Amino acid sequence: MSQKNVYKWYKLFKEGRERVEDEERSGRPSTSTDEKHVTEIKDLVLQNRRLTSRDLADIVGISKGSVSTILKDHLGLRRVKSRLVPKPLNLFEKERRINVCK
């Protein structure tokens, strides 16, 4: 940590700050990782697991990084060879179990 930041934090704590977490900031919210895009990408992946991140980004109309975030963080998928497979088999197993129960 730089000396400048140490002085800044010292000043903030001296003025009464008690937490080290960042405070809420105003800013533009993420619009490409919303529920609409997550469900759209989930449906596309369930239809065809061999789609690339670039293909998904072109179809949905969002950036490749946002597609990767949705696949990894929201859907819990990772790429093995050329197929998207679930990490703990959550997305596809849930879908299969729902279909079996119906």
Rounded mean pLDDT for each run of 10 residues along the chain, 102 residues in total: 90 89 76 88 88 91 91 80 61 79 86
The pLDDT value recorded for residue 97 is: 77
- Look at residue 85 in the predicted model and tell me its pLDDT: 60
What was the pLDDT predicted at 90? 65
Q: What was the pLDDT predicted at 43?
A: 92
Tracing tokens 């929201």 back to the chain, one arrives at: 74
The Cα 94–Cα 77 span in angstroms is 13
Query: What pLDDT score does 4 carry?
Result: 93
**What's the rounded Cα separation, in Å, for the pair 77 and 99?**
20
Task: Give the three-class secondary structure for 75.
Answer: coil
| pLDDT (0 to 100) of residue 87 | 59
pLDDT of residue 82: 59
Give pLDDT, residue 58: 94
Ordered structural domains, the chain, with CATH: 33-102 (1.10.10)
**Pairwise CA distance, residues 11 & 9, whole Å:** 5
